[in-house]
Amino acid sequence: MILRKREYLQALFCLILLFLPPLLVTGPILHQGDIPVNLEGMTLRAPWQEARVQDTDIQEVAGSDELLERYYPWYAFLSQAAANRELPLWNPYEGFGIPFLALWRTRVFSPFSLPLYFLPLSVALSVSLFAKLTIAGLCAYYVARRFQFTPAFSLLVAIPFQLSGIFLVSHWHPASDVAPFFPLILPCLQRMLLGDRRGWPYLALLIGIMTMGGDPESLAATLFFMYVLVIVYGIRTYQRDRIRGALLWLTLSSVVGLALAGIQLTPYVEFLQHGSLENKSGTFFSPWDLASLFTPPILGDGAFAPQRAALWLPTGMVAFLLLPLWFSLRSFANRIRKRRLEALLFSIVFTFLFSAALGPWLRRIPGMALLDVTHFMIPFPLAMGILAGTTADEWVHLDAQKCQMALKKLFRLLPLCWALFLAAAIPLLWFGPAREFEPVRLIPLAVCALCVFLLIFITLLWPRPLFTALSLTLVTAALLLFVYQPHARVTPAARMTPQTQLTDALDHENNRVAGSEQLKNWPLSPYGVAQVYSPSGVMLHRGASFLNQTENDPELLRLTASNQLILTKMDIKERFAALRPVLNIQEVLPSGAILLRDLQAHPRSRIVYRSRPLTPGEAPPALRADGPPLSEGGTLLENSTDKSITEAGIRGTQFNLVEIVAESGNSGILVLADSWYPGWKVFLDGALTPVFPVDIAFRGIEIGKGNHKAIFEYRPESLRLGMYITAGALILVLIGFRTFFQRHRAA
């Protein structure tokens, strides 16, 4: 009874310690009113250069494009939609309008996006980070307890996963929304291999939640790892006869889990048919990235990871230093633990090598364009925690005779291990491409090696499990906090959207900004400013086809309702030279760029009375800025004598709705210069009216003579179909849970 009470108190103490890192990371940020992301790179772009802090080093914010141009604007849009009490289905600010929920990576349904719907953006990001760190730690701790670790050693297992770089450095990346739940997969797979099929609804629900996290690549890598682990673990534990059954139940759980996320997946499948997402994450993987395991870069002063592998590999440093000790005592270790650990490590090595070898080809799979080695390394921090916990636990429980035998092996293995380490580390550090060796990067390894050596020596004389586990946990936590330095990547809330001369001068109402191609790197959506380019890298095929024609004929930009142009002097002299007579200078920006108004730009909504018919699927001819538009619907003919264009008034706009009042003197086509995309429905005077593409990229409907009210509303059928799929899968999961609990009570 006393021992059980002591274990309960120890478990409570360890759980309290699990909450300390999230509090230490997010507490000061919330107290100071900052946000836990580094947005200083925004001031390197021309519109915000005047807001740059004088002592900001350009090198410190290099590599931030993915955050600044994609994920932070998406966070801001989610917050804007919540403030407007609108569903974030459509984003009108980029590329004539793009689907938002359908992108999947926008994480509309992620559990960690919930704070964005209820709290200000500056607070919501910190709360979301706290939730990720806490859930990641609790899930890893729970799995360690299920694997028969004591509370203290479970803490040692959990900390490397909780404080991995994907949470402390890149918590804005969708992979960080998937990873926290990963540890819960392991006990589910183990139960399946043991012949217990009743737990499949748990695994299905878990896969569904991870799918909602918003990272297709992490999900694909995790599913692949699960299949590999089932096979490897079945072979390693001599349960080959159960592998086939476990794989079948894993497949059932995966299918049902994906169906649970049908409300997200069906719009995404539709998007893949009509658009694409640019890869902003850099190269897939290089062998030189392995240097982060030996000498990780110190990510201070707001620095971003020079390569994505640096987010995961440093978490294995303590376990790496304990590896010689593990091989020394392996023959004395618990058989079940040993097989479980080695199956996990082998599966990680296999998936890592598989991804590194086939990465460029895997990226060609539809929807996998952003695949990175990081996605296949999600199990790595947890495996390193299990390795460290298993090694330390077995070490302190060795008897005197086995301890002597293990030490003899260790003395033989240690020189060999360090020789192998030097043989691997020296080429990586000294001969890696574009890599300068910094002696400060040796500090973590040297300090960790010294601490591990002292702990092994102390526990040799004074083997206390609690002391050993807590000491190694402290070393691991200190190492990871020192390497990742999460407090270096913060931005004051006042600098989230700095106001500059350009942002103050832009007109936000019913027009877009166009001009220089530098706009592709200027995220204006947090300011509520629409533009023709898409800094997030999302581009619909029709929009891309239209913009390709504007490369040679910039006058076509008038069709996009872009009456404001941002141009450089070179743009004015060359590409836009023909438009100079009708361009009115509004502002000359400190960067040298010029904000101009195009006096002949078309209105966003207009009525035309003649068109050029275009058969769907036919190669489009050249567009005309002043000629009849191409129409894939309607009955107007090109030889119509009416060349006039009538502006139609926009009465109200929302993210998913545009209301237009039009007065037409004759039958015509009402053109709205927003992206044509499946799911947009038009109610003309209350009646559903077909909507068709105009000028390749835009929307159009036929209207008759007279006064009309047209309501364009985004109601995607793919979302409705996904809701039905999700509901059906949820019913299956509930039936599975009911069966499980009935059998559990009967037992």
Q: What angle do CA 412, 415, 417 make, to 5 degrees?
A: 100
| Whether residue 186 has pLDDT greater than 60 | yes
Handedness of CA 324, 330, 333, 336 (dihedral sign): positive
Q: What is the pLDDT of residues 361-404, one digit of tens each?
A: 887 888 787 887 778 889 999 999 999 999 999 999 888 888 88
List of E strands, 368-512: 491-492
691-to-14, 408, 701 alpha-carbon distances in Å: 60, 79, 5
| Whether residue 239 has pLDDT greater than 60 | yes
Exposed / middle / buried, residue 641 (Cβ in 10 Å: 0-12, 13-18, 19+) = exposed
Nearest one of 517, 530, 524 to 560, comparing CA atoms: 530
Across the beta sheet with 513-515, what order do the strands follow?
Answer: 513-515, 564-567, 594-598, 583-588
Query: What residues form DSSP beta bridges with 700?
Result: 671, 692
Question: What is the residue-averaged pLDDT of the chain?
Answer: 86
| Whether residue 405 has pLDDT greater than 80 | yes
pLDDT, greater one: 637 or 677: 677
Instruction: Tell me what pLDDT residue 60 has.
Output: 46
What is the H or E stretch that residue 708 is in? strand 706-714
| Whether residue 262 has pLDDT greater than 50 | yes
**Report field, pTM of the whole predicted structure over 0.85:** yes
HSE-up (13 A, CA, CB side) for residue 140 = 34
Name the pLDDT band for 637 (thresholds 50, 70, 90). Answer: low
Report how far residue 140's alpha carbon sits from residue 154's, in angstroms, rounded to the nearest whole number.
Answer: 8
HSE-up (13 A, CA, CB side) for residue 551 = 7
Instruction: List, in order, residues 6 or more apart from 18 with CB less than 8 Å away.
Output: 134, 137, 138, 141, 155, 158, 162
Q: What angle do CA 98, 51, 526 make, to 5 degrees?
A: 20
| Whether residue 503 has pLDDT greater than 70 | yes
Q: What is the pLDDT of residues 518-562, one digit of tens each?
A: 888 888 888 888 999 999 989 999 999 999 998 888 889 989 988
| Whether residue 582 has pLDDT greater than 70 | yes
| Whether residue 65 has pLDDT greater than 60 | yes
Q: What is the pLDDT of residues 272-281, one digit of tens each?
A: 999 998 876 6
Quick one: tokens of 177? 């929304």
Name the pLDDT band for 468 (thresholds 50, 70, 90). Answer: very high
Report how far residue 289's alpha carbon sits from residue 310's, in angstroms, rounded to the nearest whole number.
Answer: 7
Average pLDDT over residues 430-455: 74
